[in-house]
């Protein structure tokens, strides 16, 4: 009796790299926006590394 073959396909590296790049750019954009907001706000004591 034969063992059932693995039905998983190959990993799509182009899709994986695209998602990784988009997530990285998104994280940088969020950090940049929060840094700007805290740098120009008296509430955060004008500290760009507050967050």
Chain-centre distance for alpha carbon 32: 13
> How many Å apart are CA 23 and CA 16, to the nearest integer?
11
At 21, the pLDDT band (50, 70, 90 cuts) reads very high
Both tokens of 33, joined, read 């926006």
The pLDDT confidence band at residue 50, using thresholds 50, 70 and 90, is: low
**Mean pLDDT for the chain?**
81
Question: Sign of the CA dihedral 19, 25, 29, 31?
Answer: positive
**E strand or H helix that includes residue 4:** none
Asked whether the predicted pLDDT for residue 51 surpasses 60, the reply is no
* 10-14, 15-19, 27-31, 38-42: the lowest-pLDDT one: 38-42
* Angle ∠(35,36,37) on CA atoms, nearest 5: 90
pTM (two decimals): 0.60
Mean pLDDT, residues 14-36 taken together? 91
């Amino acid at each position: 009796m034969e063992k059932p073959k693995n039905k998983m396909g190959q990993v799509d590296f182009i899709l994986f790299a695209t998602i990784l790049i988009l997530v990285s750019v998104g994280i940088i954009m969020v950090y940049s926006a929060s840094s700007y907001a805290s740098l120009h706000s008296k509430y955060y004591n004008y500290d760009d590394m507050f967050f």
